[in-house]
């Protein structure tokens, strides 16, 4: 199996809709490693691009997928 690291940015308002919880559930169901966090914004666009191992390492130690604090 090949490994791909992707960074997906959802631009826009996502607070109050359970976005992080939904992403974490989907990631767990599909054996995806990574993390999710909110930013203070509303959904205007979805951007996807190659990610890096450094970005993947923002996960909490020992977790395959982490929910990080809002920034």
Which residues participate in catalysis according to the annotation?
A: 20, 38
Residue 68 CB neighbours (<10 A): 13
Q: Which residues are 45's β-sheet partners?
A: 11
């Amino acid at each position: 199996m090949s490994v791909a690291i992707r960074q997906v940015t959802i631009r826009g308002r996502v607070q109050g809709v359970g976005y992080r919880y939904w992403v974490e559930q989907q990631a767990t169901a599909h054996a995806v490693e990574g993390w999710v966090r909110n930013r203070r914004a509303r959904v205007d666009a979805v951007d996807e691009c190659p990610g890096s191992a450094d970005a993947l390492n923002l996960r909490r130690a020992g977790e395959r997928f982490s929910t990080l604090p809002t920034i």
